[in-house]
């Protein structure tokens, strides 16, 4: 057992922190969010710093890193409130290719991702599917050597910036059957794909994606037909682990911002941090953030374990971190008083981000159910 980060990982952390301090502070971030292509410069920097290449295999332009490298990147991203679609590209997109792609598919896409030339969005959720990965109505019907895609995907994070969409679609079976789901990696600009882009509450960009008789060659399918659920479960666990590290970074920032505020804000003739009721609250916040860091690490370290063990660890962490981030977010805002609900204070933006992260790829209740189901199966 060893909890040390490598020198390379520490350097990775420092380089991101340095970049964020110089190029992604509150005002620069706000300006980048407001501009249509404000993300482009940041994305190019991610490529330069090797953040996109970090977790990718060396034979495809990557640096051969692990999920731990991703967690280092994501915790720093959480601190800086980075909204660029890193997870959907470097985790979901890249890992789907890694687990299920052919040599040709990997050669083409992974190199492009590592170089910063390709953004992937995960078109998985549907308007009525909530977080059930197996609930897939979007259909891909066999047509000669290829497929014809029809359906709608909901709240696809990163779709506005993406060049490629990773789509889950039903090639067989009924709406909620695990068997019969396939994965496709398709260029966004193929005929029949339309998107309606919008910002989300936390400044991320997303879209509703519509497929209307999209003709796909067989080479767009990732992995075997009808049997993608295993890969989908795996990449969603990978993504959740990454998002949880981001949440940890955001929670730590909310803790430190609140502590700073309490040291400087004076009422009744003294710093409000001297009041015990606020001290105890900040201690509870600190403890929740520390446990969250532990659970995010547990989930990350279990990503390569057998399926059930991995899934249980990720869902356990999602439950723990979902609750902690809600508590810390609410407490941080409350302790800032009126200032906490203003747009000009950073704390509220972290609160919004962790709130949205809870409803990304399954909230507390969803993962509590999944954990209980997995436990029952094991017993």
Partner 1 sequence: MNLEFSSEEIAFRNEVRAFIEANYPAHLKGKGLREDLSKEDFLAWHKILGKKGWSAPAWPTEYGGTGWTATQRYIWLEENARAETVPPLPFGVSMVGPVIYTFGTPEQKQRFLPGIRLGEVWWAQGYSEPGAGSDLASLKTKAVREGDHYIVNGQKTWTTLGQYADWGFFLVRTDSSGKPQEGISFLLIDMKSPGVSVRPIKLLDGGYEVNDVFLDNVKVPVDQRIYEENKGWTCAKFLLAHERAGIAGVARSKRNVEKLKSIAKSELGGDGKPLSEDEDFRRKLAELEIDLSALEMTELRVLAREHAGKGPGPESSLLKVKGTEIQQRLTELTLEAVGNYAQPYFRDFPKDGANAFPIGPDYAHHAAPIYFNWRKASIYGGSNEIQRNIIAKMVLGL
Residues in contact with partner 1 by CB under 8 A are 125, 127-132, 135, 154-155, 175-176, 196, 198-202, 204, 206, 208, 266-269, 272, 277-278, 326, 330, 333-334, 337-338, 340-344, 348-349, 351-352, 355-356, 359-360, 363, 365-366, 368-369
Q: Maximum distance among all alpha carbons in the chain?
A: 79
Number of C-beta neighbours around residue 263 at 10 A: 12
Minimum distance, C-beta of residue 364 to partner 1, in the bound complex (Å): 8
* Residue 1 or 277 having the CB closest to partner 1: 277
Record the tokens describing residue 83, joined without a space: 């909204």
Record the tokens describing residue 369, joined without a space: 């159910």
The Cα 181–Cα 171 span in angstroms is 6
The Cα 328–Cα 273 span in angstroms is 16
Minimum distance, C-beta of residue 22 to partner 1, in the bound complex (Å): 26
24 phi and psi angles, rounded to 5 deg: -135, 35
Minimum distance, C-beta of residue 223 to partner 1, in the bound complex (Å): 24
* Residue 73 or 332 having the CB closest to partner 1: 332
The Cα 312–Cα 141 span in angstroms is 34
Minimum distance, C-beta of residue 13 to partner 1, in the bound complex (Å): 29
* Residue 15 or 355 having the CB closest to partner 1: 355
Minimum distance, C-beta of residue 330 to partner 1, in the bound complex (Å): 7
* Residue 128 or 142 having the CB closest to partner 1: 128
Minimum distance, C-beta of residue 137 to partner 1, in the bound complex (Å): 11
Is the CB of residue 95 less than 8 Å from the CB of residue 105?
no
Record the tokens describing residue 313, joined without a space: 């660890």
Name the pairing type of β-strands 221-222 and 181-187.
Answer: antiparallel
* Residue 22 or 277 having the CB closest to partner 1: 277
* Residue 231 or 347 having the CB closest to partner 1: 347
Record the tokens describing residue 10, joined without a space: 């520490």
What's the distance, CA 166 to chain centroid?
14
* Residue 263 or 266 having the CB closest to partner 1: 266
271-280 contacts: CB < 8 A, separation 24 or more?
Answer: 272/335, 278/335
Is the CB of residue 198 less than 8 Å from the CB of residue 218?
no
The Cα 64–Cα 180 span in angstroms is 32
Is the CB of residue 164 less than 8 Å from the CB of residue 119?
yes
* Residue 156 or 296 having the CB closest to partner 1: 156
The Cα 264–Cα 186 span in angstroms is 53
Minimum distance, C-beta of residue 4 to partner 1, in the bound complex (Å): 37
Cα-trace Rg, the chain = 21
Is the CB of residue 86 less than 8 Å from the CB of residue 73?
yes
Closest by CA to 243, choosing from 70, 16, 371, is 70
Minimum distance, C-beta of residue 322 to partner 1, in the bound complex (Å): 10
* Residue 169 or 272 having the CB closest to partner 1: 272
Minimum distance, C-beta of residue 340 to partner 1, in the bound complex (Å): 7
């Amino acid at each position: 057992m060893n909890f040390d980060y490598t020198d390379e990982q520490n350097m990775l952390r420092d380089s991101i922190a340095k970049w964020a301090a110089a190029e992604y502070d509150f005002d620069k971030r706000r300006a980048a969010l407001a501009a249509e292509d404000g993300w482009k410069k940041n994305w190019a920097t991610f490529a330069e710093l090797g953040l996109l290449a970090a977790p990718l295999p060396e034979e495809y332009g990557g640096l051969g890193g692990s999920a731990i490298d991703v967690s280092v990147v994501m915790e720093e991203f959480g601190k800086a409130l980075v909204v660029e679609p890193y997870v959907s590209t470097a985790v979901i997109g890249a890992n789907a290719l890694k687990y299920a792609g052919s040599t040709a598919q990997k050669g083409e896409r992974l190199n492009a991702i590592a170089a910063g030339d390709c953004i992937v969005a995960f078109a998985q959720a549907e308007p009525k599917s909530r977080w059930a990965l197996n609930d897939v109505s979007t259909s891909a019907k066999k047509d000669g050597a290829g497929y014809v895609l029809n359906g709608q995907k909901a709240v696809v994070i990163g779709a506005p910036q993406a060049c490629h969409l990773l789509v889950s679609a039903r090639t067989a079976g009924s709406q909620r059957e695990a068997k019969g789901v396939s994965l496709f990696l398709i260029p966004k600009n193929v005929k029949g794909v339309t998107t309606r882009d919008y910002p989300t509450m936390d400044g991320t960009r997303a879209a509703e994606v519509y497929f209307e008789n999209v003709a796909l060659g067989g080479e767009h399918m990732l992995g075997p037909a009808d049997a993608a659920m295993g890969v989908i479960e795996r990449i969603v666990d990978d993504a959740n682990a990454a998002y949880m590290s981001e949440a940890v970074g955001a929670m730590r920032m909310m803790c430190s911002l609140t502590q700073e505020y309490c040291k400087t804000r004076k009422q009744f003739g003294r710093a409000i941090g001297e009041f015990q009721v606020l001290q105890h609250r900040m201690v509870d916040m600190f403890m929740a953030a520390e446990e969250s860091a532990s659970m995010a690490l547990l989930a990350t370290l279990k990503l390569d374990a057998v399926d059930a063990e991995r899934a249980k660890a990720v869902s356990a962490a999602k439950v723990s971190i979902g609750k902690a981030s809600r508590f810390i977010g609410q407490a941080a805002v409350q302790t800032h008083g009126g200032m906490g609900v203003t747009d000009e204070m950073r704390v509220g933006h972290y609160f919004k981000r962790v709130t949205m992260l809870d409803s990304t790829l399954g909230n507390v209740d969803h993962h509590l159910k999944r954990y209980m189901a997995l436990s029952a199966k094991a017993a």
